[in-house]
């Protein structure tokens, strides 16, 4: 095909556009660098997540949960770091690849003030009741009947139940109830100058409508008990107080004498009701399968340098073009510089050039020649830098005239006699270049050997490119960093260490160590939680930092399991309620609901599995007859005939249905199989009367 002049012009124009585009792209690439760093609180040193990194008014990056951020920006960019709770700051990049930032908080933490009230030793009279354990709370339900003759319009009635731990001899208080007579209330307001807040019992005063209930007040309250204390010996005392503060009585010796106060004390509950103490369950923990939670490989800033050598023509500042290696080295240096500049993950820091001259001739001539050679190469290399980049790259050069002592060192393996000759001159003239060279030139081997083969090897220029580069570390490099203990190990690096640990013990140590550094390391924390649950061990702190609105289902699930293991029932139940109801969670949710007292929710799932757990739940629901029938059905199964807990529960069912004889026989059977159940029976309100018949205490013990 014949090319016309128009077609030729179009081809040339297209090629020119391509070249211009390539040049523009290279200039843009050279002007961009990768910047990363960590953002922390200036006062606490803690990492700050979700900080906006802004360039020219646009958000270009955010800090992650560990305060780390990464962005690619111009070498001379200005970055704004902004978070609503912190003062924003502006930082100039100035060709830096690592910029760590500290922010100052704007808000002031407010310390919560707690006001407490104290109460006097008033007393209460109530009907006998039971202390029922529901989860980690003791629930007291009772009725208070107030005789009219002890309560009138001029009195205050105070009802204060308590929980007494006979094991530790500590007393806790349930909610008090205060009922004021009409005249008492009026005088009370006058006494406090109509400021009711001065009355320390004002918050507990209830409306007096006892006449509508035949003077009976129905009471219900609960107290939290630490899981470790649930097995203690408890009773409930109630204090009754009739206060006649404004009731005046005639007294010849005193004016305006204060009315009398009446107090009394009554034990209304001894022992506890807790059928679920025998609840048994075996629930496996859940492993995390969401791989998005595995830390992503990260790039590290590594320093590196390259070195090469260039040979020159004798006596001239000119590259020896007859030496193909020298020519090739110059081209390779330029190519390497361009590769560094074109890599957004790398930054060229400096170019260092050192020129070496051989010692023939005078020192002044050689030093000048070495400097010329150095300047030549430095200029050649600098010519490949874009002006926008060149201002950030440090260019340095130096020159060296190699001493004759080095020549002697080279000769020792090749010509010992000539080496000794030069060593003698160095010793005699203290390595003085100008005094040694005349003697060397007179030597018979100067031109044939020294000038031809030895001295040219000393004429060279060496360059060093100092640059930093982001790249992913290999496993052996991560282990080297960890063993050196000189740098902070990142979340991803800990993950690789754990994954490549040589044995299970090392792996466990690395897991615990990584969680000390990164408490919210969700994947690792859940892994450790699974191990602990399988060992029947509990540590509620491991998963706590990973909990939240977006916590993975297995994390919530496993924390609920460990809360059950720690007998923190309220925590377990609240966590279980966050879980969706499905085949994997329904049993856990039923167990936590049962222990938390939500028996109606728990019963369908637990009853579908039958066994002793169903009977225990029926007892909690006070469906005693049904529980007894279920017990009798289980008697037909051989595995229950030697089950001490089964016979104990059967005794409860019989006692609640007023079959005291069967209750005694079943409890005796339970004690024969497991004598330790006697201690439980003496604290169990369901069995206290039966155990006294089956195993009465000695009179001496009773007196104690």
Q: State the DSSP string of 248-287.
A: ----TT-TTPPPPEEEEEEEEEESEE-GGGG---------
Q: Residue 232, by phi and psi: left (phi above 0), alpha (psi -120 to 50) or beta?
A: beta
Distances (CA, A) of 330 to 347, 353, 443: 20, 12, 36
The pLDDT of 140-168, averaged and rounded, is: 73
- What pLDDT is recorded for position 344? 82
- What pLDDT is recorded for position 320? 82
Q: Is 527's pLDDT higher than 50? A: yes
Structure tokens at 278: 């025998």
Helix/strand/coil for 201: coil
Mean pLDDT of all residues belonging to the chain: 81
Structure tokens at 503: 């044995």
- In the structure, how many helices (H) and strands (E) does the chain have? 23, 20
CATH of the domain at 414: 3.30.1330.60
441-464 tens-digit pLDDT: 999 998 889 988 888 888 888 888
The pLDDT of 382-395, averaged and rounded, is: 87
Q: Is 311's pLDDT higher than 90? A: no
Task: Tell me if 313 is assigned to some domain.
Answer: yes
The pLDDT of 64-71, averaged and rounded, is: 86
Cα 573–chain centre separation: 23
The pLDDT of 470-491, averaged and rounded, is: 88
Least confident of 42-51, 209-218, 583-592: 209-218
- Please, which pLDDT band fits residue 146 given cuts at 50, 70 and 90? low
- What pLDDT is recorded for position 158? 75
Q: Which range is most confident: 42-46, 272-276, 367-371, 654-658?
A: 654-658
The size of the chain, in residues, is 704
The pLDDT of 11-38, averaged and rounded, is: 59
Q: Which range is most confident: 105-109, 239-243, 273-277?
A: 273-277
The pLDDT of 386-415, averaged and rounded, is: 90
- What pLDDT is recorded for position 2? 44
Q: In terms of domains, do 260 and 332 share one?
A: no
Cα 416–chain centre separation: 69
Q: In terms of domains, do 695 and 652 share one?
A: yes
Helix/strand/coil for 472: strand
pTM of the model: 0.63
Residue 86, beta-bridge partner list: 83, 105
Helix/strand/coil for 521: coil
> Helices marked H in 452-521 — which ranges?
475-484, 491-499, 504-517
- What pLDDT is recorded for position 6? 47
- What pLDDT is recorded for position 85? 66
- What pLDDT is recorded for position 265? 59
- What pLDDT is recorded for position 1? 43
Q: Which of 542, 601, 597 is nearest to 566 (CA)?
A: 542
DSSP helix, strand, coil percent of the chain (3-state; round to 5):
45, 25, 35
597-606 tens-digit pLDDT: 899 999 999 9
Task: Tell me if 539 is assigned to some domain.
Answer: no
- Please, which pLDDT band fits residue 293 given cuts at 50, 70 and 90? confident
Task: Tell me if 11 is assigned to some domain.
Answer: no
- What pLDDT is recorded for position 382? 87
Q: In terms of domains, do 448 and 305 share one?
A: yes
**Which of the pair, 328 or 105, is modelled with greater confidence?**
328
Q: In terms of domains, do 43 and 136 share one?
A: no
- What pLDDT is recorded for position 84? 61
Q: In terms of domains, do 97 and 212 share one?
A: no
- What pLDDT is recorded for position 9? 44
Residues 6+ apart with CB under 8 A from 81: 39, 51, 52, 53, 54, 88, 89, 90, 91, 101, 103
Q: In terms of domains, do 169 and 35 share one?
A: no
Instruction: Report how far residue 217's alpha carbon sits from residue 148's, in angstroms, rounded to the nearest whole number.
Output: 13
CATH of the domain at 92: 2.60.40.1120
The pLDDT of 38-61, averaged and rounded, is: 86
Q: In terms of domains, do 75 and 182 share one?
A: no
- What pLDDT is recorded for position 282? 92
Structure tokens at 611: 């066994």
Q: Is 508's pLDDT higher than 50? A: yes
Q: What percent of the chain has pLDDT over 70?
A: 83
Task: Tell me if 239 is assigned to some domain.
Answer: yes
**Which of the pair, 317 or 675, is modelled with greater confidence?**
675
The pLDDT of 108-136, averaged and rounded, is: 47
Residue 56: give the domain boundaries.
23-103
Contact 263, 241 (CB under 8 A): yes
Q: In terms of domains, do 452 and 415 share one?
A: yes
Q: In terms of domains, do 312 and 455 share one?
A: yes
- What pLDDT is recorded for position 169? 83
Q: Is 581's pLDDT higher than 60? A: yes
The pLDDT of 324-342, averaged and rounded, is: 87
- What pLDDT is recorded for position 355? 85
Task: Tell me if 10 is assigned to some domain.
Answer: no
Q: Is 97's pLDDT higher than 60? A: yes
- Our count of domains for the chain comes to 4
Structure tokens at 540: 């509620």
Q: In terms of domains, do 247 and 203 share one?
A: yes
Return phi, psi of residue 693, to 5°. Answer: -85, -40
Q: Which of 300, 293, 344, 347 is nearest to 64 (CA)?
A: 293
User: Which of 257, 273, 289 is the C-terminal boundary of a domain?
Assistant: 273
Instruction: Report how far residue 95's alpha carbon sits from residue 293's, in angstroms, rounded to the nearest whole number.
Output: 33
- Please, which pLDDT band fits residue 126 given cuts at 50, 70 and 90? low
- Please, which pLDDT band fits residue 111 given cuts at 50, 70 and 90? very low
The pLDDT of 535-539, averaged and rounded, is: 91
- Please, which pLDDT band fits residue 363 given cuts at 50, 70 and 90? confident
**Which of the pair, 685 or 239, is modelled with greater confidence?**
685
User: Which of 62, 88, 103 is the C-terminal boundary of a domain?
Assistant: 103
Q: Is 184's pLDDT higher than 80? A: no
Task: Tell me if 506 is assigned to some domain.
Answer: no
User: Which of 68, 103, 138 is the C-terminal boundary of a domain?
Assistant: 103
Q: In terms of domains, do 555 and 698 share one?
A: yes
Q: Is 211's pLDDT higher than 80? A: no
Q: In terms of domains, do 455 and 359 share one?
A: yes
Task: Tell me if 144 is assigned to some domain.
Answer: yes
Task: Tell me if 69 is assigned to some domain.
Answer: yes
């Amino acid at each position: 095909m014949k090319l016309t002049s128009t077609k030729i012009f179009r081809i040339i124009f297209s090629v020119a556009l391509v070249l211009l585009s390539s040049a523009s792209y290279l200039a843009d690439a050279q002007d961009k660098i990768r910047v990363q760093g960590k953002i922390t609180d200036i006062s606490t040193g803690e990492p700050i997540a979700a900080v906006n990194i802004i360039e020219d008014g646009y958000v270009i990056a955010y800090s992650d949960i560990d305060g780390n951020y990464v962005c690619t920006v111009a070498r001379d960019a200005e970055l704004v770091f902004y978070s609503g709770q912190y003062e924003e700051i502006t930082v100039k990049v100035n060709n830096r690849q690592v910029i760590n930032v500290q922010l100052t908080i704007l808000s002031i933490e407010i310390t919560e003030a707690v006001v407490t009230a104290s109460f006097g030793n008033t007393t209460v009279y109530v009907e006998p009741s039971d202390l029922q354990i529901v989860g980690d709370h003791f629930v007291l339900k009772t009725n208070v009947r107030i005789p009219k003759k002890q309560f009138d319009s001029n009195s205050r009635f105070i009802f204060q139940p308590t929980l007494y731990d006979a094991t530790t001899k500590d007393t806790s208080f349930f909610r008090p109830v205060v009922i004021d007579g009409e005249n008492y209330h009026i005088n009370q307001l006058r006494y406090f100058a109509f400021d009711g807040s001065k009355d320390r019992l004002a918050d507990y005063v209830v409306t007096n409508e006892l006449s509508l209930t035949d003077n009976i007040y129905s009471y219900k309250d609960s107290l939290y008990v630490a899981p470790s204390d649930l097995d203690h010996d408890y009773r409930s005392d109630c204090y009754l107080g009739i206060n006649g503060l404004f009731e005046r009585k005639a007294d010849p010796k005193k004016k305006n004498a204060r009315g009398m106060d009446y107090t009394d004390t009554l034990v209304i509950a001894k022992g506890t009701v807790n059928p679920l103490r025998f609840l048994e369950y075996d629930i496996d923990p859940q492993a995390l399968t969401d791989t998005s939670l595995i830390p992503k490989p990260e790039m590290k800033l590594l320093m590196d340098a390259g070195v090469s050598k260039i040979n020159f023509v004798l006596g001239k500042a000119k590259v020896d073009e007859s030496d193909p290696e020298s020519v090739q080295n110059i081209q390779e240096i330029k190519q390497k510089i361009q590769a560094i500049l074109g890599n957004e993950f790398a930054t060229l820091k400096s170019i260092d050039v050192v020129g070496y001259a051989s010692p023939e001739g005078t020192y002044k001539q050689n030093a000048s020649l070495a400097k010329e050679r150095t300047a030549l190469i430095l200029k050649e290399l600098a010519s490949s830098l874009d002006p926008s980049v060149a201002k950030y790259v440090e260019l340095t050069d130096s020159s060296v005239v190699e001493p004759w002592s080095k020549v002697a060192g080279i000769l020792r393996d090749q010509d010992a006699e000539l080496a000794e000759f030069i060593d003698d001159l160095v010793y005699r003239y203290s390595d003085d270049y100008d005094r040694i060279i005349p003697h060397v030139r007179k030597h018979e081997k100067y031109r044939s050997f020294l000038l031809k083969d030895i001295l040219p090897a000393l004429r060279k220029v060496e360059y060093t490119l100092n640059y930093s580069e982001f790249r992913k570390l290999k496993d052996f490099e991560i282990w080297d960093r960890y063993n050196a203990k000189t740098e902070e190990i990142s979340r991803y690096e800990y993950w690789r260490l754990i994954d490549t640990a040589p044995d299970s013990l090392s792996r466990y140590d690395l897991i615990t160590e990584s969680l000390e550094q990164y408490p919210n390391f969700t994947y690792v924390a859940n892994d450790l939680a699974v191990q602990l649950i399988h060992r029947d061990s509990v540590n509620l702190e491991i998963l706590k930092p990973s909990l939240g609105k977006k916590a993975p289902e297995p994390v919530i699930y496993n924390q609920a399991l460990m809360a059950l293991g720690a007998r923190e029932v309220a925590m377990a139940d609240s966590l279980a309620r966050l879980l969706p109801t499905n085949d994997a969670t329904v049993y856990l949710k039923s167990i936590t609901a049962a222990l938390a007292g939500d028996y109606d929710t728990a019963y369908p799932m637990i009853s579908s599995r039958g066994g002793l757990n169903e009977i225990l739940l029926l007892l909690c629901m006070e469906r005693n007859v049904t529980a007894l029938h279920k017990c009798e059905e289980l008697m037909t199964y051989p595995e229950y005939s030697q089950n001490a807990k089964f016979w104990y529960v059967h005794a409860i069912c019989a006692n609640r249905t007023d079959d005291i004889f069967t209750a005694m026989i079943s409890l005796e059977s339970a004690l024969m199989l497991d004598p330790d159940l006697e201690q439980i029976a003496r604290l169990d309100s369901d069995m206290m009367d039966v155990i006294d018949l089956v195993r009465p205490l000695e009179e001496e013990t009773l007196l104690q």
